[in-house]
A and B are shown apart, each in its own frame.
Chain A
Amino acid sequence: MLIFEHSAKGRKTKIQSTSGNEMPTDIPASLLREDKPGLPEVSEMQAVRHYTSLSQKNFSIDTHFYPLGSCTMKHNPRVCNSLAMLPGFLSRHPLAPEQNSQGFMACMYELQEMLCDVTGMAGFSLTPMAGAQGEFAGVAMIRAYHDAKGDFERKEILVPDAAHGTNPATATMCGFSVKEIPTLDDGDIDLDALKAAVGPQTAGLMLTNPSTLGVFERKIEEIAKTVHQAGGLLYYDGANLNAILGKIRPGDMGFDVIHSNLHKTFSTPHGGGGPGSGAIGVAERLKPFMPLPVVTKEGDAYRWLTEKDCPQSIGRMSAFMGNAGVLLRAYVYMRLLGNEGMQRVSEFSTLNANYMMAQLKKRGFQAAIPNRYASHEFIITLKKQAKELNVSAMDFAKRLLDLGYHAPTTYFPLLVPECLLIEPTESEAKEALDGFVEALVQIQHEAETDAEMLHNAPYTMPVNRLDEVRAARQLDLAWSASREA
């Protein structure tokens, strides 16, 4: 039932009881609204009950094991939320003068410094509001760097074929063409193909390490050398920082620019699809191009860097300074972990992934890259099940929901047929991992005995498989009273 269907004409909740309901006389009638907007008219209790019961139709980290590969669904500590929502932080106007902002700015400055340290970069800007915006900032800086040198011929960005879809989409938004570099069976990038692809047209390479295939890119130094010698820059898609935190730093691997999804590695909530934060770090040579604002410290005081300080900046990416509340949550999380806690993140997320992979292999499942250690995530391919039993990765995914597990990422990366990309994260206990393995074993058994049953899973959710074709053809994107009537 939709909130609109709880509505009754003329019901008012009186939450906003301000006096006077007369339309203003100092605004011409031609600029005023004639009809009442079709919002629901419900009581506070109706609204609270409706949205509470809707929430119960969601899987979430707080309610379920959620091993969604490349999304890092780790525990979101509650204290990060309660401290970011202190009244002093919530009520700060984004344009408040610096003298009324030193507490907030201290947090931002220290966050920049900590991010520089864990990534090995020289500078950090916190303004990008999600990973895709961080990528945009990174690629725009690569462009600004070449342009500033008068090198206008570098019009191509190289992207591995295993890359996330945002990589090529971002390159296009920055006016580059995209060339894909193939990946070898062992998960490493095809270095010969890369060497053949680089040239005076190469602006840069966008790379994830560990790759989206869940393995460490072993030839990283040679890749960096190849791209740099050709005059290109190296961009690190930092969605996977969880695997390397405190172990190896992108700056030391030779990367020039990195974005870090704070909503993954640093545990800010995913919120059903955001808000995120794609903070962006740069090597020394890209510092002049960072997006603004950035906090700097002079003596004991914090100050915003603006266009006057950074005339070569690629510009602004949000009306103010990005998702400040998300940044505060990441700051609190990093301070809780501290120096010694950073390494533990990579160690235990990697331990969990490799343990699950080992258990699944023992139970007959096929790892996409069987002879290497996984990073913080790994891939199972169900191509054998698809061929022999006519059961797809999607069938496995949907059946997992019935067994109380959120499904892993399916059909990404695109290179591996019928894949499940599994990322347990460090915060899951061994029991949860064992339970998930048993669930997959059970589904495998069901696939062998009653494949038809799996095709129609799930059975215990509020709805079963939805008609996506109908959704796209008979578009129903908004409720309206007139149409319902």
Chain B
Amino acid sequence: MPFIPHTEDEINEMLSVIGIDSIENLFDEIPAHLKSTGLKNVPPGLNEMSINRLMQQRAAQDGQPLCFMGAGAYDHHIPAAVWQIATRGEYYTSYTPYQAEASQGTLQLTYEFQSMMTALTALDVSNASLYDGATAMAEAVLMAVRSNRKSKSRKILVPRSVNPAYTKVTETMVKHQNIELLEVAFDSATSKTSMDSLKAFDGEDITAVVISQPNFFGTLEDVDAITNWAHENNTIVIAIVNPLSLAILKPPGQWGETGADIAVGDGQPLGAPMSSGGPYYGFMCCKKEFVRQMPGRIVGRTVDQEGREGFVLTLQAREQHIRRSKATSNICTNQGLVVTASTIHMSLLGPEGLKQTALSCHRNTQQLLEKLTAIDGVELMFDQPRFHEAVIKLNKPAAEVLDKLAQNNILGGVNLSEHFAELENCILLCATELRIAEDIETFASALAEALK
């Protein structure tokens, strides 16, 4: 029997110890008329050889198109060592480190992860992860509401230039707690959150403002000015950042005069394959004065009875298993294994490797735009400083063009008109370090063909 080791003799011996005749006796308390009469939609079991064949076919069926899509999931190189180490059984098959003495591996690794994230964001503390970037934004909003004692309004400013998927998830997660998400327009020429629309809230009680750097369109926002404006207004600043970009961009802890208060984002660019959207992980860092309002698990360094250094889950009084209905969040399981991979990834790349990757993404994207805008019918939108994503406008319906490209095994980008009516025929695209000149060439000629 797959995965069940019992022999006939053992079963009989075990039954006699329990004092019953058959395993079925153990289910006597289930009312007879409720007992299941068999499953109709679960096919007979497959052996390993057959499931291999099935899954190989399915994986191959989806092709491996040349990917110029981003929008929150990016095609980066992951060193071979990352997942080989992360899927060692000792990481892969352990539980949340409740028994600290028997979990020092996971606990120390998590502490190292927290250290790396605080280094990247230039903030004081990090938690052990949340589910993904979108839920991290939602948790940051809830955390800001708990933290900002000067504000009573529970109003949060959310620019339209934030990833719309993140905003949607945040709505789902906060709408039952009397929190109001107020949209802030972006400047139609630059795609940046306009200071004018922020200034409309001058002097008003606003609990927090969300700033995405880069924003959903790839454009770099004036983070210093927005941060300073918010702090003058007693408003908490929630930064959404791409952690890879922080190898070259100013970290949120250094924005404006005093830095952003909370930084969140998706850790996918640091070692998680695109994998249809997950598992990734959300990260969250903050200034130390807010640590007790932080959701999720946090690892701390301490000593044992003999004074040896060791690591434990700490500040657990915030969490659901202690505080129950008054907890900071209901989260318990997070994304531990992906954090493990990501920590190894960051160690292998180091500050220099991360910087080179970020620079390479930036450079390739600039080259991509140069090539594409040379094509008739392609126009660059928002000619602004950017990281590794940009918006182009086509002279034909985007859906039609993207479809043609897909038939040529190219994912040409994300159709923006589905989310932004004003961006008709526009697509959001991205070139990571993997999209070398040859790939860009392939894309450009396919696009030229599609626009003919």
A178, A325, A336, A477 interface centre (most CB from chain B within 10 Å): A477
One of B153-161, B197-205, B297-305, B371-379 at the interface: B297-305
- CB contact between B248 and one of A33, A346, A479 (< 8 Å): that residue: A33
**Are B14 and A430 in contact, with the CB atoms below 8 A?**
yes
Interface check B87, CB cutoff 8 A: yes
**Are A476 and B304 in contact, with the CB atoms below 8 A?**
no
Interface check A321, CB cutoff 8 A: yes
Q: CA A56 – CA B89 in complex, angstroms?
A: 10
CB distance from A448 to the nearest CB of B (A): 24
Within 8 A of A (CB), among B218-251: 220, 223-224, 246-251
Given contacts A63-B90, A426-B4, A470-B302, is CB(A130)–CB(B83) below 8 Å? no
Interface size on A, residues (CB 8 A): 198
Interface check A131, CB cutoff 8 A: yes
CB distance from A272 to the nearest CB of B (A): 4
Interface check A449, CB cutoff 8 A: no
**Are A83 and B55 in contact, with the CB atoms below 8 A?**
yes
Q: Report B-chain residues with C-beta under 8 Å of the C-beta of A351.
A: 6, 11, 14-15, 18, 23, 26
**Are B300 and A477 in contact, with the CB atoms below 8 A?**
yes
Instruction: Give the interface size bracket for B toward A.
Output: 35 or more
Chain A 195-228 per-residue mask, 1 if CB under 8 angstroms from chain B, else 0? 0000000000000000000011010110000000
**Are B91 and A58 in contact, with the CB atoms below 8 A?**
yes
Within 8 A of A (CB), among B332-371: 332-338, 340, 343-344, 346-357, 359-360, 362-363, 366
**Are A97 and B403 in contact, with the CB atoms below 8 A?**
yes
Q: Report B-chain residues with C-beta under 8 Å of the C-beta of A129.
A: 131-132, 135, 278-279, 335
Q: Report A-chain residues with C-beta under 8 Å of the C-beta of B220.
A: 27, 31
**Are B119 and A38 in contact, with the CB atoms below 8 A?**
yes
One of A42-50, A280-288, A379-387 at the interface: A42-50
Q: Report B-chain residues with C-beta under 8 Å of the C-beta of A136.
A: 173, 330
Q: Report B-chain residues with C-beta under 8 Å of the C-beta of A93.
A: 65, 67, 69, 73, 75, 274, 276, 411
Q: Report A-chain residues with C-beta under 8 Å of the C-beta of B105.
A: 54-58
Given contacts A4-B112, A247-B30, is CB(A39)–CB(B346) below 8 Å? yes
Interface check B195, CB cutoff 8 A: no
**Are B362 and A24 in contact, with the CB atoms below 8 A?**
yes
Q: Report B-chain residues with C-beta under 8 Å of the C-beta of A85.
A: 83
Q: CA A216 – CA B11 in complex, angstroms?
A: 23
One of B45-53, B143-151, B442-450 at the interface: B45-53
23 interchain pairs, CB-CB under 8 A:
A23-B359, A31-B220, A31-B250, A37-B354, A58-B94, A62-B89, A88-B64, A93-B276, A101-B62, A101-B276, A136-B173, A168-B324, A244-B30, A246-B36, A271-B336, A271-B337, A323-B278, A359-B17, A430-B13, A463-B304, A463-B308, A476-B301, A479-B301
Interface check A435, CB cutoff 8 A: no
Q: Report B-chain residues with C-beta under 8 Å of the C-beta of A87.
A: 59, 64
Q: Report B-chain residues with C-beta under 8 Å of the C-beta of A427.
A: 3-5
A-B CB proximity, top 6 nearest: A338-B45, A320-B277, A62-B89, A271-B337, A88-B59, A94-B277
CB distance from B130 to the nearest CB of A (A): 9
CB distance from A48 to the nearest CB of B (A): 5
Q: Report B-chain residues with C-beta under 8 Å of the C-beta of A314.
A: 172
Within 8 A of B (CB), among A168-200: 168-175, 178
Q: Report B-chain residues with C-beta under 8 Å of the C-beta of A291.
A: 172
**Are A94 and B274 in contact, with the CB atoms below 8 A?**
yes
Within 8 A of A (CB), among B287-336: 288, 291, 297-306, 308-312, 314-315, 317, 319-327, 329-336
Q: Report A-chain residues with C-beta under 8 Å of the C-beta of B350.
A: 11-13, 39-42
**Are A272 and B340 in contact, with the CB atoms below 8 A?**
yes
Q: Report A-chain residues with C-beta under 8 Å of the C-beta of B366.
A: 26
**Are B301 and A275 in contact, with the CB atoms below 8 A?**
no
- CB contact between A132 and one of B17, B65, B332, B359 (< 8 Å): that residue: B332
Q: Told that A131-B332, A246-B39 touch, could you supply 8 new A-B pairs with CB distance under 8 A?
A: A27-B248, A55-B85, A249-B36, A252-B34, A344-B1, A351-B11, A465-B305, A471-B314
Interface check B259, CB cutoff 8 A: no
**Are B172 and A317 in contact, with the CB atoms below 8 A?**
yes
Interface check A416, CB cutoff 8 A: no
Given contacts A31-B220, A172-B325, A173-B173, is CB(A470)–CB(B303) below 8 Å? yes
Q: CA A102 – CA B368 in complex, angstroms?
A: 29
Interface check A364, CB cutoff 8 A: no
Given contacts A41-B351, A273-B96, A332-B55, is CB(A463)–CB(B310) below 8 Å? yes
One of A74-82, A229-237, A439-447 at the interface: A74-82
Q: Report B-chain residues with C-beta under 8 Å of the C-beta of A458.
A: 101-102
Q: Which residue from chain B places its CB closest to the CB of A338 in the assembled complex?
A: B45
Interface check A301, CB cutoff 8 A: no
Interface check A165, CB cutoff 8 A: yes
**Are B90 and A90 in contact, with the CB atoms below 8 A?**
no
Q: Which residue from chain A places its CB closest to the CB of B31 in the assembled complex?
A: A221
Interface check A154, CB cutoff 8 A: no
Q: Report B-chain residues with C-beta under 8 Å of the C-beta of A462.
A: 101, 104, 310
Interface check A95, CB cutoff 8 A: yes
**Are A33 and B106 in contact, with the CB atoms below 8 A?**
no
Interface check A428, CB cutoff 8 A: yes
- CB contact between A104 and one of B36, B62, B64, B77 (< 8 Å): that residue: B62
Q: CA A438 – CA B103 in complex, angstroms?
A: 24
**Are A316 and B168 in contact, with the CB atoms below 8 A?**
yes
Q: CA A106 – CA B62 in complex, angstroms?
A: 11
**Are A91 and B69 in contact, with the CB atoms below 8 A?**
no
**Are B246 and A18 in contact, with the CB atoms below 8 A?**
no
Q: Which residue from chain B places its CB closest to the CB of A82 in the assembled complex?
A: B52
Interface check B217, CB cutoff 8 A: no
Chain A 252-276 per-residue mask, 1 if CB under 8 angstroms from chain B, else 0? 1100000000010001011111111
Q: CA A479 – CA B109 in complex, angstroms?
A: 12
CB distance from A203 to the nearest CB of B (A): 12
**Are A33 and B101 in contact, with the CB atoms below 8 A?**
no
Interface check B114, CB cutoff 8 A: yes
Interface check B389, CB cutoff 8 A: no
**Are A61 and B93 in contact, with the CB atoms below 8 A?**
yes
Within 8 A of A (CB), among B117-144: 117-120, 124-126, 128-129, 131-135
Q: Which residue from chain A places its CB closest to the CB of B304 in the assembled complex?
A: A463
Interface check A365, CB cutoff 8 A: no
A58, A131, A397, A429 interface centre (most CB from chain B within 10 Å): A58
**Are B357 and A16 in contact, with the CB atoms below 8 A?**
yes
Q: Report A-chain residues with C-beta under 8 Å of the C-beta of B251.
A: 33, 37
CB distance from B48 to the nearest CB of A (A): 5
Q: CA A24 – CA B448 in complex, angstroms?
A: 28
Q: Report A-chain residues with C-beta under 8 Å of the C-beta of B69.
A: 93, 95-96
